[in-house]
Homo-oligomer: A and B are copies of this chain.
């Protein structure tokens, strides 16, 4: 198993976190995005989208962090982390889409603008961050986990950029249920944080 990894990418963090929770040995291939290593012909042959993470195992090449989470859970027969019944699987997948769309367009982009000087609209991304945090907070007011009443890859998929939303200069203090959910994830056996992970003041 080989993970193409950038240390500060939240999408890479979710894969490292899942691998740690599952206790799966793997090789890490560093991709230095500031040197454009994600846009070389060699890397584009692995992931034509030119993004991290990507993952190789047994001849399978998988890009997209949500798809890699699905792969890891299926490969290790962890139906606790990704159920196989139609309703349970769909309940998880709706939050994988939420991670791909709402969590990316909001907190991930707001953070990228502040932290990596991405030339995008900060106000718009901060508004989308508040929208996403509001939906999560409403959902988690009466639930400990996003799907299936237990930790699943839905939580792992939505966690990194949600937990780092403050790095996009969005006040997270109104979202108490989100804060409690973040703490539950960080208490999971096998949890690992980002390298030198900063914390909100």
Contact = CB atoms under 8 A, between A and B. Distances in A.
Given A48-B135, A93-B64, A94-B67, A86 B100 contact: no
Contacts of A86: 60, 70-71, 74-75
Given A93-B64, A94-B64, A138 B48 contact: yes
A99 B116 CA distance: 26
B62 A91 contact: yes
Task: Count identical subunits in the complex.
Answer: 2
How many residues of A sit at the interface, in one of the four size bands? 20 to 34
Interface string A69-97: 01100110000000011110111011011
Interface of A: 48-49, 58, 60, 62-64, 66-68, 70-71, 74-75, 84-87, 89-91, 93-94, 96-98, 100-102, 104-105, 135, 138-139
14 contacts: A48-B139, A62-B87, A62-B94, A64-B93, A67-B90, A67-B97, A68-B90, A70-B93, A74-B85, A74-B90, A75-B86, A93-B93, A100-B100, A100-B101
